[in-house]
Amino acid sequence: MNALYVLLLVLPAATLAINLKPYNETAHMMFVESDFNNDGAFSRNELDMVFKGYDTNGDGRVTRHEYTSYVDLHTPTLHDLSHALYDIYDSDNDHHLDKHDYDMLFSIMDADSDGIVQEMEFTIYWTALYGSLEHVHGHGSHV
């Protein structure tokens, strides 16, 4: 869920420092941009659509190189954060992001296990995640 992909699409690529705080507002912006069909919910299919942007060779899997190269190209200040997020997304540590990893990420975000990630669930997940990774993207409000 790579919502980071969505974050990168929403924020100007030329930005030298990206303000992720307040995290709940960043998460809200990511949710709005990730809800491709504008139905007020984030589906498993929409998660696939987010990660598809990173799959530069179209093989259905995202390598660390594909993921971080995309981030480095668009927003180099998020380099360290991109590696930390990749490590979290790669749930089986096989160095590829694929269906299994996306299923795991989606199930973690879907706190009530109803098969849909509501905005509140999405916001809670991303707010907590960014807070836990603050040491990676900077103690201040900018990366």
- Decide: 105 and 89 in contact? Cβ < 8 Å: yes
Are the beta carbons of 138 and 80 closer than 8 angstroms? no
What would the pLDDT profile of 101-126 be if each residue is shown by its tens digit? 999 999 999 999 999 999 999 999 99
Query: What is the band of 137 on the pLDDT scale with cuts at 50, 70, 90?
Result: confident
Over residues 54-83, the pLDDT tens digits come to 999 999 999 999 999 999 998 898 899 999
